[in-house]
Copies of this chain bind each other. A is one copy, B any other.
Amino acid sequence: MRSPEELTTLFRDRGWKVTPQRQCIFRILHDNPTHPTADAVYAVARAEMPTISLRTVYQTLNDLASMGEVNVLDLGTGSVRFDPDRGAHHHLVCTGCGAVRDLFAEFPGLRVPDGMEQGFTVGDAEVVFRGLCDECSVAGSARTGTTGAGRGKIESDSRKRG
């Protein structure tokens, strides 16, 4: 996404006000590679603006998304993540803790093979590599995780109910 200064101009052009809260969020997101959730942004923002509200964070995040300044990612980790990097890239997702890392790689030949479109008008392709991050592969030799995606919400197999 663009720099806080540029965003200031863009907001003004749209007739939107540039409040300290918004500027704070601009700064937090700028060059941020951590794909923070709304709640993560909120936590950081509170450090310098203790009275900022979660509602305002969501509001501004959505404003930025509607302007196309951040990408909204739902990688199945339970909450939506915001990515200020607008360039084409893919993701590594930890099935343990939900961490997301960028993967700047190109995969030539990554398009729907002819005749398999099934009526779809296909836009972008995103690749998600799922696995365990360094911390989680150390911490847990058990719990290899669900085979596919999943937000870690699989019922804890609590048989014997009732």
State the A residues within 8 Å of B (CB).
Answer: 58-59, 62, 65-66, 68, 71-76, 80, 83, 86, 92, 94-95, 101, 103-105, 107-110, 112-113, 116-134, 137, 145-151, 153-155, 157
Q: Contact check: which of B72, B130, B147 meets A150 at CB < 8 Å? A: B72
A interface, over-half SS: loop
Question: Do A68 and B147 contact each other (CB < 8 Å), given the known contacts A107-B109, A128-B125?
Answer: yes
What's the Cα separation between A76 and B72 when bound, in Å? 10
Question: Do A125 and B129 contact each other (CB < 8 Å), given the known contacts A74-B151, A147-B71?
Answer: yes
What's the Cα separation between A113 and B130 when bound, in Å? 14
Which residues does chain B contribute within 8 Å of A86, judged by CB atoms?
Answer: 147
